[in-house]
Structure 1
């Protein structure tokens, strides 16, 4: 396995969690939200870094790398063509069980690898991680599905499943704006963004490093019309990239 893949696994293990104040109309409270279980990794060629382990790429880049844990099953993510999606699921081949994964034609499998939990002899037989790396190649709704089973056994319907929907939009559909981070003393207090022409945005995943009133920023974002906000202030967005205006 190459060094980049090992670094990717290390990032998802150590990544922090950022929580938001919205609910997904299709996946209400019982499902994880995008900011809880996904980490965006920088494109090494762009020299971009994620400074606080949130799911927003710091600075601007053409494409980003998203990685999703098994906790993100049954949820929806957003991307554009050229992005990379990494799925990391726990697997223990010594039990005979393995993940059988299928995916839609708009995703191209770039790498399929297994990472053992440890080389320590005391942990022989411990579960490791199965890692799939995809490139997003087509617009529209793409799907990843996996079932955890022994291949020689009949499917009973009680097996563990993994499902991820990826809505791939065109780059022209992204919000591309600059604005000012604004603290609003409503509903317990939250940070919004006031953009060009006083457009108000309610981001579900504003990184901690940018949660300072009056901070000037540039950003790109997905509109999240599928979500219902508690703040009733501005358009709900999911930030894709963000950078300070110095």
Structure 2
């Protein structure tokens, strides 16, 4: 059963080394992520599952100990999912969203059992919802860390340029995350999210499936769009 969840953005710039110590505009997001992960630990889960969007060919499970790298972003930095030793033979590398999640856990000195799941960013809402239900059934006390960004079309300089629909889309996501509303997350339009480059949609709908019927309470810890990309941090915990 899901006992706690956190939603965090996954830009590699969240990692200070990738940002070369810059990107102070993300300091507030980093602080909010740290608080959200701390709330996960306080729920005392038996297992934490980190989910994040990825291409179809990288979707699937990633066991504890899987290594991720930021070398593709010009930084000699590797991270590992949890504290387990790297599996042998060497597993496939973590996709970027899960690598950022692993970095957040590393910063928090996370010690509880961890698993990772890469979610096909084009998966249907029903597929994501069902995946979330299965994740929630993995143990008596499950926590979920959902990594993913909102629309990338919030300004003229955004990666997807300005799309007038982006602000309303992101506002709806913010309300759902603040209210811990699985139904509202499940109802997000996958086609619209794809057009707006909101890659977090799939991970949020996995969260919706995992949280169905749990009655968790939500708090929105961060809501901003630096670089024209919507970033949210949310914490879902028991009352």
Which has the larger helix fraction?
A: 2
Which has the larger strand fraction?
A: 1
Which of 1 and 2 has higher RCO (CA within 8 Å, sep 6+)? 2
Larger Rg: 1
Q: TM-score, normalised by structure 1?
A: 0.29
Q: TM-score, normalised by structure 2?
A: 0.30
